[in-house]
Amino acid sequence: MAKQKQNNESTPLRAKDEGSLTPEPAECGRLSEGLQALASQLEQYLTFEQQDALANRSEWQKALQSSVPAQGIGFDKVIDELAKYVIPNGSQIPNPGFTSFITTGASTMGTLTSLACSVASPQRVGLTAFTFLEELSLQWLASMFELPAQMRGVYSSGGSVANLVSLGVARQSTFEALGIDPAEEGFTQRCRIYASDSSHRSIHRAAAILGMGRNSVVSIRTDSMGRMSPDALRKQLTLDSIPDSKQDLAQVAIIANAGSTSTGVIDPLLEIGEIAREFGIWFHVDGAYGLPGILDPRVKPLYRGLELADSVIVDPHKWLGAPVGIGATFVRDRELMSRAFAQGASDYFEGSFINDQFSETAQTSMDSLGVPYSDFSVELSAPARGAVVWALLREIGTEGMVERVCRHNSMARRIAELAKAHPNLELVQEPTLSICCFRYVGAEGSKGAKGIKASDLNELNQRIHRRLIKNGRNMPSTAQIGEVLAIRPCFVGARTTWQHAEDLVEEVIELGAQLSAPQ
Ligand SMILES: *Cc1c(COP(=O)(O)O)cnc(C)c1O
């Protein structure tokens, strides 16, 4: 303040054009007021008592559809429109009965911290409490999920980018061993990435973006549960390693699921990891959904071999309850990350920083950009996501996370139990984590005397599923498992409780009876 005044006195600057006299049109204060106005609407939304968005479409579309406004309507009227037309017509994803996706609604702490980040740390740079928590929370995740001690992480917008980053580092490592710097020079060799059919499609997209091509992803056979067969993997690797066929063939990565998206199965990590070591190939574990499963003592043994991983990803915006936009990649060597992704020097910052990170000599929060996360991934500007993860863990601790993960895994097991016990239901696959695939088979279904035709059963379950979604009480997805169309709830939401498991089963039995009754 004082400085500004002095300036004004000593150099009486005059506005030379009209622009300099116009005040900023956007409101930059009134935060509490705005929050208060929206908070009650948001609370109301979370009761899920209002109609589904689509039911009111004609009203809100009419109100919202317009060409770009030449004149703004001002702060208060936008708040009103948000409250009246936008918020009440939001998504079913945070509904506790919604179990279709693996992303969920954020817990309150996630929402609040995310807001705090957007206000107080719009970037993950500088020597601030927010950037301190970026690193600390990554270490917390690594420690909670028992990742190898050397592993360091970087946040990104989600599992898709986290997989892209992992494969970028795998590509760097593989080609450097061949004497080529792929990030600098590009490459001409054909590549191979080994994954199972159950792997997430973001792997194929990452292969495409990284110049290896979708076809470089070789699909390794799975067992009846959808887990990668180590024998099939070994066979394929051996075939590709024959000197003749290996000509110009770069074997970039082996990818294992720690919780597949469709059914939640975990590949045999230990066997796959050992094969990866033996063949000297990068071992990536995709734990976007399922890494937190390691917190459940009942399934923890399935994570043996995680210690062999070269890269691991997890999505805090799935089971941990963060708002969407937070994924994390962990690798052993950040230098490698940096060689794969560094943007290079830019003139506009040259000389701005002493680059000391959190050292004794740094005197202001802008003496250094801090850990150069933007060199480890594909984003330059990015939110300070770590504070959100820190807050989620600080609120409920690892013990709270253990409780949530165990509760959700138990819910999947409860459904399995009910499906096995009920004559009208069939368990399609035993749950590994918090996904349970089951279906309605009719009073005289496969367990009864006269089974309904397989194709009719798929159609019936599809109709049951559509009705479930329409009713809006329990909203699972479906999943194709071999020839069978199953109903697939995936329990990850913090708001989703035990009751939802039993209620879903009841509703499926009711709807199944209604829809299969002779007309
Ligand atoms: C969800 C998921 C992804 C993709 O994550 P996004 O955050 O949706 O980009 C990748 N892999 C697995 C196994 C997933 O479940």
Residue 19 has pLDDT above 90, yes or no: no
Q: Which atom of ligand 1 is nearest to the CA of 257?
A: 13
Domain boundary among 378, 393, 408: 393
Residue 34 has pLDDT above 60, yes or no: yes
Q: Give how far the C-alpha of residue 384 lies from the chain's centroid of Cα atoms, to the nearest Å.
A: 16
Q: How confident is the model at residue 243 (pLDDT cuts 50, 70, 90)?
A: confident
For the Cβ of 286 lying below 6 angstroms from any atom of ligand 1, the answer is yes
Residues 252 and 320 in one domain: yes
By DSSP bridging, strand 217-220 and strand 190-196 are parallel
**For residue 387, which amino acid is it?**
A
> Is pLDDT larger for residue 7 or for residue 458?
458
Q: How confident is the model at residue 246 (pLDDT cuts 50, 70, 90)?
A: low
**What's the CATH number where 297 sits?**
3.40.640.10
Task: Give the residue whose CA is nearest to atom 10 of ligand 1.
Answer: 159
Residues 472 and 387 in one domain: no
For the Cβ of 261 lying below 6 angstroms from any atom of ligand 1, the answer is yes
Backbone angles phi, psi at 146, to 5 degrees: 55, 45
Residues 256 and 343 in one domain: yes
| Ligand 1 center from residue 29 Cα (angstroms) | 37
**What's the CATH number where 433 sits?**
3.90.1150.10
| Ligand 1 center from residue 100 Cα (angstroms) | 13
For the Cβ of 267 lying below 6 angstroms from any atom of ligand 1, the answer is no
* Contact present, 258 and 290 (Cβ < 8 Å): yes
Residues 347 and 453 in one domain: no
Q: Give how far the C-alpha of residue 27 lies from the chain's centroid of Cα atoms, to the nearest Å.
A: 33
Residues 235 and 276 in one domain: yes
Residues 168 and 279 in one domain: yes
pLDDT at 283: 98
| Ligand 1 center from residue 332 Cα (angstroms) | 21
Q: How confident is the model at residue 454 (pLDDT cuts 50, 70, 90)?
A: confident
pLDDT at 3: 44
Residues 336 and 438 in one domain: no
Count how many domains the chain has: 2
- Mean pLDDT over the full length of the chain: 92
Of 93, 261, 432, the residue with max ligand 1 atoms within 8 A of its CB, to mutate for a pocket test, comes to 261
Could you give the CA distance from residue 347 to residue 325 in angstroms, rounded to a whole number? Answer: 30
| Residue 94 resides in a domain | no
pLDDT at 449: 38
By DSSP bridging, strand 249-257 and strand 190-196 are parallel
Residues 283 and 388 in one domain: yes
| Residue 310 resides in a domain | yes
For the Cβ of 500 lying below 6 angstroms from any atom of ligand 1, the answer is no
Structure tokens at 378: 């594909």
* Contact present, 198 and 222 (Cβ < 8 Å): yes
| Ligand 1 center from residue 382 Cα (angstroms) | 19
pTM of the predicted model, to two decimals? 0.94
| Ligand 1 center from residue 87 Cα (angstroms) | 26
| Residue 474 resides in a domain | yes
| Ligand 1 center from residue 322 Cα (angstroms) | 14
**Gyration radius from the chain CA atoms:** 26
Domain that holds residue 332: 108-393
For the Cβ of 255 lying below 6 angstroms from any atom of ligand 1, the answer is no
pLDDT at 1: 40
Q: How confident is the model at residue 13 (pLDDT cuts 50, 70, 90)?
A: low
Q: Which atom of ligand 1 is nearest to the CA of 317?
A: 7
Q: How confident is the model at residue 12 (pLDDT cuts 50, 70, 90)?
A: low
Residues 443 and 370 in one domain: no
For the Cβ of 511 lying below 6 angstroms from any atom of ligand 1, the answer is no
Digit-coded pLDDT (tens) for 403-427? 999 999 999 999 999 999 999 999 9
